[in-house]
Amino acid sequence: MASTFRLSISFLTLLLFSLWVVEAHTSRKLISIKENEGQDISHLPKDGEFDDPSLYMYFTLNDLKLGTKLLIYFYKNDLQKLPPLLTRQQADLIPFTKSKLDFLLDHFSITKDSPQGKAIKETLGYCDAKAIEGEHKFCGTSLESLIDLVKKTMGYNVDLKVMTTRVMVPAHNSISYALHNYTFVEAPKELVGIKMLGCHRMLYPYAVYYCHGHKGGSRVFEVNLVTDDGRQRVVGPAVCHMDTSTWDADHVAFKVLKMEPRSAPVCHFFPLDNIVWVTK
């Protein structure tokens, strides 16, 4: 048991490090992309519509098919600016709750009204909030706690698969992290009969992952996308939340997709530093 746990920690350490270096090169030839003339794009965000490029990640279930073109932003964090990963022993010495916000701001020498101070408050708010009906959620503040909570949620005796978003370009080409039009060049492959947890990296002085999933009603897909010029390929997970009836009516996804709140499924891709856990 102990040796397995140590291997898990080593594996996750390597995984989290690899998320910072997500570039890959391939010898595949350029791919020619044909226009999908029949695609309805009236609900999709247009270039310049939102100041925050990270909002260009949502789409609908009907978009999830071969040939669909979407405007998407896959970004990469600056290695030198990423906060450190803590061990459980280190993390347990620091309180992690919104009720200790003033103490934490003083501990990290951050002012309350600064962008960093507002980010800490927001992250603690997400992590302290109660799960909505049918949802399981937690925040991992260390390598050990992340693994323990994933196993507790997914099952101690299940085989887990880790999925991440990867960007690939041909040899001698550099990756562009700007907004691009991407087209599904293969039919998305649905992973049937699985449990799923999505873990999102939060803004905090050290590495914190906000993980959540639903007991039912979410569909997970493996996708393969290519830019218009065929030089850049993205492969990884996408999820469609089929029941949004309990979501906050002001959720940004409804605004981005121009849909009536809580009326239809919402799908999204995952940023490059997120982790998706699924049962095999």
> DSSP per residue over 98-162, as a string?
GGGHHHHHHHTT--TTSHHHHHHHHHHHHHHSPPPTTEEEEEE-SHHHHHHHHHHHH-TTS-EEE
C-alpha of 145 from chain center: 19
Provide the 10 A C-beta neighbour count for residue 8. 17
Provide the 10 A C-beta neighbour count for residue 153. 16
* Helix (H), strand (E) at residue 256: helix 252-256
C-alpha span between 239 and 188 (Å, rounded)? 11
pTM value? 0.84
Q: Give me the tens of pLDDT residue by residue for the chain, a chain 280 residues long.
A: 444 444 455 556 556 655 544 455 544 444 445 545 567 778 888 888 999 999 999 999 999 999 999 999 998 777 677 899 899 999 999 999 999 999 999 999 999 999 999 999 999 999 999 998 888 999 999 999 999 999 999 999 999 999 999 999 987 778 888 899 999 999 999 999 889 999 999 999 999 999 999 876 799 999 999 999 999 999 999 999 999 998 899 999 999 999 999 999 999 999 998 999 999 8
> Residues 200, 203, 209, CA angle at the centre, nearest 5°?
30
Burial class of 129 by CB neighbour count within 10 A (0 to 12, 13 to 18, 19+): exposed
3-state SS assignment for residue 268? strand
Tokens 């925050």 sit at which residue?
52
C-alpha span between 109 and 116 (Å, rounded)? 10
